[in-house]
Amino acid sequence: MTETTLTGQARKLAVRLDRPVQYRLELGEQSTGLNGLLGQSVSLRATGRISCIHCDRVTNKSFNQGYCYPCFQKLAQCDSCIMSPEKCHYDQGTCREPVWGDYFCMQDHIVYLANSSGLKVGITRASQLPTRWIDQGANQGLAVIRVRTRQQAGFCEAMFRQHVTDRTNWRAMLKSDADELDLADHRDLLIAECISEIDALQKRFGIHAISVLTGVEPVRIQYPVVSYPEKINSIDLEKNTATGTLLGIKGQYMILDNGVVNIRKYTGYELELSLH
């Protein structure tokens, strides 16, 4: 017997730091906890309806994880500087949405190190930790530098990227927990290697705008995973229904015994979750 539990427009998985991380699948106005479904047979399918997460316009294709094409073209949150924050042009007066820029870009950001499939550098708004680490499937995270704006975070990330990748190998992340790293040691080495560039940024923006964090301990993150797959098979919900036993949730992925589904990829899609 199949019981449909919820149907609605998908957003990224809602998370809460706990041991293990607590996950909720939110579809429209409905939601359900996923941790309690571990070991159960579930089905997840796309109904074929896609609507913009900003204006709710029905669209044939989703752009930039959830937007219709007109919104993708006009919204500041879809600008190229979101992916390359060092290219932020807010201070030039050319931001598409200055009010949104005040809220999103002109806020304190954290430059961090994380360990998901190995050591990586990243940035996020200060208010988004540890959510950002969880969304990336990191087993460890450490805040390294606090800055006043997103652009400054981009400059710091570009500086660290000369020594550390900013990429996550998602397939490796979904095959196992990452081997534990001494993030504090990696932080100290990076700061030493980049001290002249950090000094230059502090002279440019002010010493209080670029603050190297001290006395901060790494955060360790545990995920609700019964077992990891030996082989990663990514299920495309536009072509197939994902049906199988739920073995875990990590990052933004639901791990089934026959494949994995990246829920964030289907932001804006109407999805239907069924229990068997």
Give the pLDDT of residue 276.
78
Q: At what angle do helices 183-193 and 195-205 cross, to 10 degrees?
A: 70
pLDDT at residue 2 is higher than 70: no
> What does the alpha-carbon distance between residue 241 and residue 270 come to, in Å, rounded to a whole number?
13
Strand partners, 227: none
Determine the average pLDDT of the residues in 161-179: 97
The tens digit of pLDDT for each residue in 143-152 reads 999 999 999 9
Tell how far CA 70 is from the center of its chain.
24
Give the pLDDT of residue 161.
97
SS3 assignment, position 128: helix
User: Which residues have a Cβ under 8 Å from the Cβ of 61 and sit 6 or more positions away?
Assistant: 50, 69
Residue type at position 101: G
Question: What φ, ψ does residue 60 adopt, rounded to 5°?
Answer: -80, -20
Give the pLDDT of residue 4.
72
Determine the average pLDDT of the residues in 25-34: 96
Where residue 272 falls among pLDDT bands split at 50, 70, 90?
Answer: very high
**Residue owning tokens 């950090």:** 198
pLDDT at residue 63 is higher than 60: yes
Choose the weakest-confidence range: 46-50, 87-91, 162-166.
87-91
> What does the alpha-carbon distance between residue 32 and residue 254 come to, in Å, rounded to a whole number?
13
Cβ-contact 43, 52 below 8 angstroms: no
> What does the alpha-carbon distance between residue 267 and residue 10 come to, in Å, rounded to a whole number?
5
Strand partners, 23: 15
DSSP H/E element including 61 = none
Q: How many CA atoms lie within 13 A of 132 on its CB side?
A: 20
Q: Can you give the C-alpha Rg of the chain in angstroms?
A: 20
SS3 assignment, position 91: helix
Cβ-contact 129, 110 below 8 angstroms: yes
With b for 16 or more beta-carbon neighbours within 10 A and e for fewer, the 71-101 pattern comes to: bbeebbbbbebbeebbebebeeeebbeeeeb
Give the pLDDT of residue 1.
54
Give the pLDDT of residue 3.
75
Where residue 191 falls among pLDDT bands split at 50, 70, 90?
Answer: very high
Mean pLDDT of the chain: 96
How do the domains of the chain map onto residue ranges?
3-68+223-275, 72-220
**Residue owning tokens 């019964």:** 226
